[in-house]
């Protein structure tokens, strides 16, 4: 499932029209019909449905939808909310087709004319503005959106809710508040971004007959179950503990043994062959009983906090995770710097490790082996010197820029997790739920990611699979023995077995 900007979507449409000879109005017919067949699962013939139609191609889709649903026997009132002079090209063609089919079309000139219809509607379909919307909502459409939002009716948007831009990083002051959005051909970035995704409600993408082989390949995709199925590391019958990687987890503090303990246990539960935990000795005594399968490496410490560099040779590990529960004291800085320079395998840095990274990003850039950073928006905002709201409203832009600048894999966590490779390729993980918004979830994720990195030949696959395993485990647990309220990070670790069993391929 591709994720596109408005410009990329226009390029796709152009390729379709130029390279395969698909005419714009045929694409519009396809789009409108695909939306209708998707909407049939949401609609019933007893409902009173009002469809709001704009002047651009989104409105063109609206004319097709109105005609098709009327043909199917739905009770539809179709309103053109812009003057005739604004309805051009393919939209004009489909407007005539609707009228020539013998169906009525109402023309809105003043907001009062439509009030009664909207108040009495069971369903309101918004086909006013799509990816061509610019700036804030204007004129009559703005009033129609406000009035629609006041109604009890089920609200459906076509492609995107009017007033919502397709791209990220743009403020919205007013927009159609959809309960469901039927997205055309590819997910628009705004469906996945904090300040705009709320307007979409639930959503689905419909296929409209674009010539997929001819389209430029997208560098942004939603990671799906089929992808995980293809990429999941296989355990061969003749494998031994060395075949699945030898990992090292570094972090912990005397007063925070839980974080690193959870990471370590999650790594072991996720299939790592061998694991060593390096932590202050005073933390190890509390971590050890929880992860009996691991070996331990006491770090130099001062009052329960790591102090100084690591004495052990770290070159014989296949992967290292650093930072969980380490604390943000200045004395742990040397350890982070040391590992950034010395680890010759994939290095994952999370939590307090990220905090220590800001002034040594130039060293991260010099690493020749993969580096993975797993910040939440607050940690990322600190790293890139932006506000949290700037990050959450333009996460694709900032994480790509960061990954490309420093040559790192970035896992930007949140309700939508964005995984970016050093070359700028991005995957989106949509699994998980609010049960994960708790201390410890991130530690578990780091542990799973380390294990996946140890077992996979591709860091990108490992990160995507790890995020999906983490999210699906939360979903599975809140559908069975837990709720989003009581779910704990430790429950996730124990729930992993069930998730991995479902990956039985």
Ligand X SMILES: NC(=O)C1=CN([C@@H]2O[C@H](COP(=O)(O)OP(=O)(O)OC[C@H]3O[C@@H](n4cnc5c(N)ncnc54)[C@H](O)[C@@H]3O)[C@@H](O)[C@H]2O)[C@@H](O)CC1
Q: Residues comprising the binding site for (6S)-NADPHX?
A: 57-61, 130-136, 159, 325, 376, 443
CB 469 within 8 A of CB 455: no
Q: What is the number of other CB atoms lying within 10 angstroms of the CB of residue 167?
A: 20
How many residues bind ligand X (CB under 6 A)? The answer is 30
Alpha carbon distances (Å) from 474 to 68, 445, 465? 40, 11, 14
- Binding residue numbers for AMP: 413-417, 442
Nearest one of 88, 96, 111 to 66, comparing CA atoms = 96
Token code pair at residue 312? 């052990």
What distance in Å separates the CA atoms of residue 423 and residue 437, rounded to the nearest whole number? 30
Strand partners, 2: 221
User: Is there binding between residue 158 and K ion (CB under 5 A)?
Assistant: yes
Identity of the residue, 187 or 392, whose beta carbon is nearer to K ion in the bound complex: 187
Identity of the residue, 158 or 326, whose beta carbon is nearer to K ion in the bound complex: 158
User: Is there binding between residue 135 and ligand X (CB under 6 A)?
Assistant: yes
Q: Which stretch binds K ion (CB under 5 A): 15-23, 162-170, 228-236, 380-388?
A: 162-170
CB of 497 to K ion, least distance (A): 44
Could you give the 3-state DSSP secondary structure of residue 313? Answer: coil
461-478 in b/e form (b: 16+ CB < 10 A) is: bbbbbbbbbbbbbbbbbb
Residue 83 interacts with, from ligand X, K ion, none (CB under 5-8 Å by kind): none
Residue 138 interacts with, from K ion, ligand X, none (CB under 5-8 Å by kind): ligand X
Residue 56 interacts with, from K ion, ligand X, none (CB under 5-8 Å by kind): ligand X
What distance in Å separates the CA atoms of residue 401 and residue 412, rounded to the nearest whole number? 13
CB of 82 to ligand X, least distance (A): 6
What distance in Å separates the CA atoms of residue 186 and residue 221, rounded to the nearest whole number? 9
* Alpha-helix runs per DSSP H in 223-294: 225-231, 257-269, 281-287
What distance in Å separates the CA atoms of residue 192 and residue 394, rounded to the nearest whole number? 10
Token code pair at residue 339? 């590992």
What distance in Å separates the CA atoms of residue 25 and residue 88, rounded to the nearest whole number? 11
Q: Which stretch binds K ion (CB under 5 A): 154-162, 315-323, 449-457, 459-467?
A: 154-162
Residue 126 interacts with, from ligand X, K ion, none (CB under 5-8 Å by kind): K ion
Token code pair at residue 176? 């159609």
Q: Which stretch binds K ion (CB under 5 A): 32-40, 160-168, 359-367, 461-469?
A: 160-168
**Residue in 8, 61, 167, 379 binding ligand X, rule: CB under 6 A:** 61
Phi then psi for residue 344, to 5 deg, are -105, 20
User: Is there binding between residue 138 and ligand X (CB under 6 A)?
Assistant: yes
Q: Which stretch binds ligand X (CB under 6 A): 20-28, 239-247, 263-271, 371-379?
A: 20-28
**Residue in 149, 162, 263, 371 binding K ion, rule: CB under 5 A:** 162
Q: Given the DSSP bridges, would you call strands 305-306 and 301-302 parallel, antiparallel or unpaired? A: antiparallel
Residues in contact with K ion, shown as a per-residue x/- string from 114 to 133 under the rule CB under 5 A: ------------x-------
Residue 254 interacts with, from K ion, ligand X, none (CB under 5-8 Å by kind): none
User: Is there binding between residue 30 and K ion (CB under 5 A)?
Assistant: no
Footprint of ligand X on this chain (CB under 6 A)? 13, 24, 27-28, 31, 54-61, 86, 129-139, 141, 158-159, 184, 208
């Amino acid at each position: 499932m591709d994720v596109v900007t408005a410009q990329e979507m226009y390029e796709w449409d152009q390729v379709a029209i130029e390279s395969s000879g698909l005419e714009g109005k045929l694409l519009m017919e396809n789009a409108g019909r695909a939306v209708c067949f998707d909407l049939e699962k949401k609609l019933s013939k007893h409902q009173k449905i009002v469809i709001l139609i704009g002047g651009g191609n989104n409105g063109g889709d609206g004319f097709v939808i109105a005609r098709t649903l009327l043909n199917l026997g739905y009770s539809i009132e179709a309103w053109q909310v812009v003057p005739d002079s604004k309805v051009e090209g393919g939209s004009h063609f489909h407007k005539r087709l609707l009228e020539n089919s013998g169906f009525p079309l109402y023309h809105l000139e003043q907001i009062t004319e439509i009030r009664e219809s909207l108040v009495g509607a069971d369903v309101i379909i918004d086909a006013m503005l799509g990816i061509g919307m610019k700036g804030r909502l204007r004129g009559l459409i703005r009033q129609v959106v406000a009035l629609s939002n006041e109604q009890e009716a089920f609200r459906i948007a076509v492609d995107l809710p009017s007033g919502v831009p397709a791209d990220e990083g743009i403020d919205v002051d007013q927009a159609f508040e959809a309960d469901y959005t039927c997205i055309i051909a590819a997910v628009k970035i705004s469906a996945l971004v904090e300040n705009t995704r709320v307007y979409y409600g639930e959503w689905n993408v419909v296929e409209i007959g674009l010539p997929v082989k001819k389209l430029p390949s997208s560098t942004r995709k939603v990671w799906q179950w089929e992808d995980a199925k293809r990429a999941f590391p296989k355990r061969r019958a003749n494998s031994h503990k060395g075949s699945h990687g030898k990992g090292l987890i570094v972090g912990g503090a005397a007063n925070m043994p839980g974080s690193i303990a959870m990471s370590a246990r999650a790594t072991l539960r996720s299939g790592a062959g061998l694991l060593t935990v390096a932590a202050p000795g005073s933390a190890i005594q509390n971590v050890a009983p929880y992860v009996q399968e691991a070996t331990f490496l006491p770090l130099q410490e001062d009052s329960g906090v790591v102090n100084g560099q690591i004495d052990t040779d770290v070159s014989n590990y296949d992967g290292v995770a650093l930072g969980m529960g380490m604390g943000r004291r200045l004395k742990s800085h040397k350890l982070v710097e040391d590992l950034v320079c010395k680890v010759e395998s994939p290095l994952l840095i999370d939590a307090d490790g990220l905090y220590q990274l800001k002034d040594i990003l130039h060293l991260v850039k010099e690493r020749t082996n993969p580096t993975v950073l797993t910040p939440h928006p607050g940690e990322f905002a600190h790293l890139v010197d932006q506000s949290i709201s700037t990050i959450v409203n333009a996460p694709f832009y900032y994480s790509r820029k960061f990954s490309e600048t420093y040559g790192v894999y970035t896992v930007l966590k949140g309700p939508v997790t964005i995984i970016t490779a050093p070359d700028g390729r991005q995957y989106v993980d949509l699994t998980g739920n609010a049960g994960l918004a708790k201390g410890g979830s991130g530690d578990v994720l780091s542990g799973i990611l380390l294990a996946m990195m140890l077992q996979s030949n591709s860091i990108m696959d490992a990160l995507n699979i790890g995020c999906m395993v983490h999210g699906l485990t939360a979903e599975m647990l809140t559908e069975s023995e837990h709720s989003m309220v009581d779910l704990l990070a430790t429950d996730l670790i124990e729930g992993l077995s069930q998730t991995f069993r479902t990956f039985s391929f």
